[in-house]
Chains A and B, each alone.
Chain A
């Protein structure tokens, strides 16, 4: 049996440390978010680590006003699907920006965010936009 190329636990530990370490198919170059056994494009199982820059743009977003149990104090909060420059997408909290300033196409940069007792994926406006 071959070891899994990257586990969910490893990825989330990276998030806590401020890193996004994804996987890339060494056969066809497709980037993916772990855990995955087979490349969805070429069907091979030949992943290598891929360090993501964390830079991307907002593909879609929402502001959660009615929150699940235990999160009422955090609401309203924004969640966006972010297209990263390596071609993969991640969902994350959008922070450090007024809720009404979030828009599709907004350049953002990954940063870890605390929610309840967990560190989760977050995105803040890219620094060069603020200047």
Chain B
């Protein structure tokens, strides 16, 4: 197949009937409007002595400055926050975030799909603009977890797995992906060294990102000799707990056309899978990734080989390997080889997580989806400095929620 013209304005003009459209997807058929990201902002990731609302608002102020747009233009806030109820004793976080930003009267909604929360917020904000309901919308997310002990944050993150069936067993978030890792190793022969290669690569990229939580290279030995967390996953196979915020300004085509650096949303798709690990048929795969990716490629009229740069959900090293396969970047079972051979490194076939990914950049769960989009927009604008993917015209973000039951995939292009 010839390579599609990356970044060309794409509109799928054939309406899909409700019956033909997979659940959770929509497509840009007329009269849906095109949507662009016109501003991005992200805090430094790491430990902060600020509330999640403050972290969001700091990122949002940066996003507005980046968009060269006054706050008064924002018509709605779509917000991601996950464990605020536990770590900050704070519910009702979206109006709080808007108040701290200084926009107390706009409609706000908090989204919670575990680690995919602000990517879910993004998808719904895109639909609000595409539908014509609003012209300028803020998307953001923030999380604060480093103010509580690790045993507590481990407990709160496990709330994203089933309370009756899985939390009662003492299953942890690393434990979920350890089950995926063992199944992938058994089926495909994936090795602990290949998983470690993902961590080494993402730490190498993180050195180039001044906002990253870890800006330090590590070696394979660092990973392989680190203590076991949930066999076969070791400490350095796991992303860290992180405080941080991220924000995006989205606009309709009419508004975006008069801004300087719009990046077009070519697709935004969501998919789910069974909540219970026991109900998933093949733990070596993440079907929600495969479904969301298929829907996103179809919306955008793109194929996996059109993608120049990817920010995907590497909450654990095995998660990156399985995601590169589910997104169609590599054949099933070859994601580990791709990492080992450097195909996903900056300068490789398809650079994955140039920001350092969740592994090195950090994973403030409610902010992660928005932060991934910040990186792809920065890449497509050609503003990523030392971690720039040369000539990137089409980018993809992939965010996974909790126990692999939620996945969002979005595609972006430049003029």
User: Which residues of A does B touch, CB under 8 Å?
Assistant: 8, 12, 32-33, 59-72, 74-75, 77, 79, 81, 88-93, 104, 115, 118, 120-121
Q: How near does chain A come to B381, taking the closest CB pair, in angstroms? A: 40
Q: Which 4 A-B pairs have the closest CB atoms?
A: A62-B178, A68-B155, A69-B155, A63-B231
Given contacts A69-B151, A79-B175, A115-B170, contact A64 B230 (CB under 8 A): yes
Task: Confirm or deny: B277 has a beta carbon within 8 angstroms of a beta carbon on chain A.
Answer: yes
- What 1/0 mask marks residues of chain B from 160 to 203 whose CB sits below 8 Å from any chain A CB? 00001111111110110011101100100000000000000000
Given contacts A64-B175, A65-B230, A69-B154, contact A33 B168 (CB under 8 A): no
Bound together, the chains give a CA A88 to CA B166 distance in angstroms of 16
Given contacts A91-B165, A91-B276, contact A64 B172 (CB under 8 A): yes
Contact across chains for A66 and B231 when beta carbons are under 8 A apart = no
Residues in A whose Cβ lies below 8 Å from that of B180:
60
Task: Confirm or deny: B296 has a beta carbon within 8 angstroms of a beta carbon on chain A.
Answer: no
Closest to B164 in A: A8
Contact across chains for B183 and A68 when beta carbons are under 8 A apart = no
- What 1/0 mask marks residues of chain B from 347 to 386 whose CB sits below 8 Å from any chain A CB? 0000000000000000000000000000000000000000
Task: Confirm or deny: B283 has a beta carbon within 8 angstroms of a beta carbon on chain A.
Answer: yes
Which of B228, B233, B283 has a CB less than 8 Å from the CB of A60? B283
Bound together, the chains give a CA A75 to CA B170 distance in angstroms of 9
Residues in B whose Cβ lies below 8 Å from that of A79:
169-171, 175, 179
Q: How near does chain B come to A104, taking the closest CB pair, in angstroms? A: 5
Which of A12, A63, A74, A115 has a CB less than 8 Å from the CB of B164? A12
Contact across chains for B170 and A33 when beta carbons are under 8 A apart = no
Residues in A whose Cβ lies below 8 Å from that of B171:
64, 79, 91
Contact across chains for A67 and B151 when beta carbons are under 8 A apart = yes
Task: Confirm or deny: B107 has a beta carbon within 8 angstroms of a beta carbon on chain A.
Answer: no
Bound together, the chains give a CA A66 to CA B230 distance in angstroms of 7
Which of B169, B186, B227 has a CB less than 8 Å from the CB of A65? B227
Which of B152, B175, B229 has a CB less than 8 Å from the CB of A69? B152
Task: Confirm or deny: B31 has a beta carbon within 8 angstroms of a beta carbon on chain A.
Answer: no
Contact across chains for B179 and A62 when beta carbons are under 8 A apart = yes
Task: Confirm or deny: B221 has a beta carbon within 8 angstroms of a beta carbon on chain A.
Answer: no
Task: Confirm or deny: B279 has a beta carbon within 8 angstroms of a beta carbon on chain A.
Answer: yes
Contact across chains for A81 and B278 when beta carbons are under 8 A apart = yes
Instruction: Name 29 interchain pairs, CB-CB below 8 A, sorted by A.
Output: A8-B164, A33-B278, A33-B279, A59-B283, A60-B179, A63-B231, A64-B170, A65-B227, A66-B174, A67-B154, A67-B170, A68-B155, A68-B167, A68-B170, A68-B172, A69-B154, A77-B170, A79-B175, A79-B179, A81-B179, A81-B283, A89-B277, A90-B278, A91-B277, A92-B169, A93-B170, A104-B186, A115-B169, A121-B165
Contact across chains for A60 and B278 when beta carbons are under 8 A apart = no
Number of interface residues, chain B, beta carbon within 8 A: 37
Residues in B whose Cβ lies below 8 Å from that of A118:
168
Task: Identify which of residues 218-256 in chain B touch chain A, using a CB-to-CB cut-off of 8 Å.
Answer: 227-233
Contact across chains for B170 and A74 when beta carbons are under 8 A apart = yes
Bound together, the chains give a CA A121 to CA B162 distance in angstroms of 14
Task: Confirm or deny: B400 has a beta carbon within 8 angstroms of a beta carbon on chain A.
Answer: no
Task: Confirm or deny: B130 has a beta carbon within 8 angstroms of a beta carbon on chain A.
Answer: no
Q: How near does chain A come to B160, taking the closest CB pair, in angstroms? A: 12
Q: Give the residue among B152, B166, B175, B180 with the most A Cβ atoms within 10 A.
A: B175
Q: How near does chain A come to B168, taking the closest CB pair, in angstroms? A: 5
Contact across chains for A121 and B231 when beta carbons are under 8 A apart = no
Bound together, the chains give a CA A81 to CA B168 distance in angstroms of 15
Contact across chains for A63 and B278 when beta carbons are under 8 A apart = no
Closest to B174 in A: A66
Closest to B166 in A: A91
Task: Confirm or deny: B295 has a beta carbon within 8 angstroms of a beta carbon on chain A.
Answer: no
Task: Confirm or deny: B158 has a beta carbon within 8 angstroms of a beta carbon on chain A.
Answer: yes
Closest to A119 in B: B168
Closest to B232 in A: A62
Given contacts A74-B170, A91-B171, contact A65 B283 (CB under 8 A): no
Given contacts A69-B155, A72-B151, A91-B171, contact A63 B228 (CB under 8 A): yes
Closest to B151 in A: A69
Bound together, the chains give a CA A69 to CA B233 distance in angstroms of 20
Closest to B234 in A: A65
Which of A69, A70, A75, A81 has a CB less than 8 Å from the CB of B277? A81
Q: How near does chain A come to B360, taking the closest CB pair, in angstroms? A: 20
